[in-house]
Amino acid sequence: MENPVPDNAETLEKGKTLFTISCVACHGPEGRGDGPLTKTTKIDPAPRNFTNADFQRLRSDGELFWVLKHGSHGTEMMRMDFFFTDDELWTLIRYIRTLGRTPGPPLK
């Protein structure tokens, strides 16, 4: 799946806002997987570290979209389609991509 949301400053700012209100508790403000809930709650497996270049390179936008929309079985990652539209999920992915910028594009 291709990300239909434009990769521009406005999208990234919206994505940052969505990340701040929905992801920081587990993934942390920089996306390292060290959010405040990880200090008080046993989360196993640990939240994803979005600054990991290998993770960013090996995951397509479509895969990230599926996990955000449906959750990740066997983890604490809940489905986000109850809270966000598809466009908002794609916007969130645009921002998440900025947390682990690597040389070269992610896999398609």
pLDDT of residue 42: 85
Please give the tally of structural domains in the chain.
1
Mean pLDDT of 10-22: 97
- For residue 108, is it within any domain? no
Percentage of the chain exceeding pLDDT 70: 93
- For residue 1, is it within any domain? no
- For residue 3, is it within any domain? no
How large is the C-alpha radius of gyration of the chain? 13
pLDDT of residue 100: 84
- For residue 63, is it within any domain? yes
Give the helix/strand (H/E) hosting 25.
helix 24-27
Which CATH number is 65's domain given? Answer: 1.10.760.10
Mean pLDDT of 35-44: 90
Range of the domain at 70: 9-35+44-98
Q: Which is more confident, 104 or 86?
A: 86
pTM for the structure as a whole = 0.89
- For residue 88, is it within any domain? yes
Mean pLDDT of 55-62: 93
Q: How far is Cα 19 from Cα 29, in angstroms, rounded to an integer?
A: 8
